[in-house]
Structure 1
């Protein structure tokens, strides 16, 4: 089976590192424990995280929350490590 992007001649956009204002969105169960966990992970992998730029949106019923962070992405290894750590938490539903 061929890659549809390869056949159309399109490639995914390239990211140049370091990349300021790189968005990371995490969706998980609502609550202060999960929110604190997500911040802890982001600060470990992206030192200097600007907490004033974190946005949180609750789902309509308040069951889930979406947290958006803006970090300085330093490379693929950093992004893979933080995505893996966030995805491995049982309350995480999605990491974008």
Structure 2
């Protein structure tokens, strides 16, 4: 009988068998779109911009895409940031989700 002395395969990354599976499938840095939805309110876009810039200072606010719902009651904002880490995205999601004007963050 033979004993296998090779390092066990890492199913998340077979090229790196000795490392634990990654927490994310993203490779940083990368362009990462955030979709933020909330009630239509004049304060929503400036609040989102302030939060996004706090976590991604290089975000250009002119690239934020705003779209109103068909009835005009809700607003969808899309911000594509240059994501540098999972920790950055986690902190950004937490702060956006905790804002009273924001209903959903995808």
Q: TM-score range by the shorter chain?
A: 0.7 to 0.9
**Aligned-residue CA RMSD in angstroms?**
1.2
After superposing on structure 2, the runs of 4+ consecutive aligned residues of structure 1 that deviate more than 2 Å are none
Aligned with 1:14 (options 21, 25, 32): 25
Aligned with 1:78 (options 88, 93, 102): 88
Kept in 2: contact 1:50–1:70 (CA 8 A): no
Q: Which protein, 1 or 2, shows the higher relative CO under an 8 Å CA cutoff with sep ≥ 6?
A: 1
Gaps of 5+ in 2: 1-23
Aligned with 1:23 (options 19, 30, 33): 33
Tell me the TM-score normalised to structure 2 length: 0.74
Counting matched residue pairs gives 83
3-state SS of the aligned residue for 2:43? helix
Higher Cα radius of gyration: 2
Gaps of 5+ in 1: 1-12
Q: Which is helix-richer, 1 or 2?
A: 1
